[in-house]
Amino acid sequence: MHWTVRLEARTSAGEVTTAELVTFSRPGVVSTLAEIGLMLAETKTLLAKLQASMLCGQVAAYAAHHRACVGCGVLQPLKDRRTRRLQTLFGTVEVEAPRFKVCRCRLTTPMAAVTVSPVCALLTARCTPELERVQAELGARTSFRDGVRILEALLPVSPANQESLRSRTHAVALTHSPIGSRARSAAAMAAFLASGLMPLMVQGLMRSSDGWSAWSDIGLPPLADRR
C-alpha cells in the first residue's frame, strides 16, 4: 500500500498550487505491530518538507508584496538574489532573500547606492521564536545535553549543541525578566511571577556554565551576597 501526501496552497487571489511532499509505503498485509501507522522518522521527514514548503511560500509572497514601491506602486528593480537560513522547530530552511533597488521616486542618493531587502528585514533573528522558547524550556528543565538529545530524537530540528541551548535559555530568561529590563514596578513583577517564567529563569541561570556570575547580568547580586 502507498500513501502520498500532497500540499495545496491557495492564495488570497484564488490561485492554487499543489506540491507532492512524500510517499509512504507499507506491505499490503502487515505481519507485526511495528508495521502499523507512521514511524517517527517518516513523521520528521513529513514535518520538515511541510515546513520548508510553507515557509518558502510565505517568504516569497512577502518579498513580492514589498517589491512594489509604496510611493508610486511601480515594481522596484531587482538588484540580486541572496539566501538566508532560518532555524525552526521543524528544520533549517533556506529561503531566497532578493534585494531591490529603491524606486527613483523615493531616492535622495543615486540608485546604485540604495537597496532594500524585505526578507532580511523580516528575518530579524536566526531562529524562530517558537524554537527559541522550546529550547529555553528544555534547557531550564533538563541538562543542556539532554535537551539537545530530546529535540533531535523527536523533531526534525537541525542539530544543536549544548552551548546554543544554554545561550538561548539565558537569553529568554533575560528577555522576560522585569529585573533584567529594570522594570521594577510592583505590577510588572506580579505579572512576571504569575507567568510562571521565574522557575525557568532561575533554573536556566543556575545551569549556566558561567556559574553564579550570570546573576549579575539581570541585576541580582551573587548567591553568597544574598544570604
Q: What is the pTM of this model?
A: 0.72
Answer yes or no: is pLDDT of 224 > 60: no
67-126 pLDDT, tens per residue?
A: 998 888 889 999 999 999 999 999 999 999 999 998 888 766 554 458 889 999 999 999
73 and 162 together in one domain: no
55 and 142 together in one domain: no
59 and 144 together in one domain: no
Residue 105 covered by a domain: yes
188 and 146 together in one domain: yes
Hey, which bits of the chain come out as E strands?
A: 2-10, 16-25, 78-88, 91-101, 115-116
Residue 227 covered by a domain: no
Backbone dihedral angles phi then psi of residue 13, each to the nearest 5 degrees: -85, -5
9 and 117 together in one domain: yes
Q: Which domain holds residue 41?
A: 2-122
Residue 26 covered by a domain: yes
Answer yes or no: is pLDDT of 175 > 80: no
The pLDDT assigned to 119 comes to: 95
12 and 108 together in one domain: yes
25-69 pLDDT, tens per residue?
A: 988 888 899 888 999 999 999 999 999 999 999 999 999 999 998
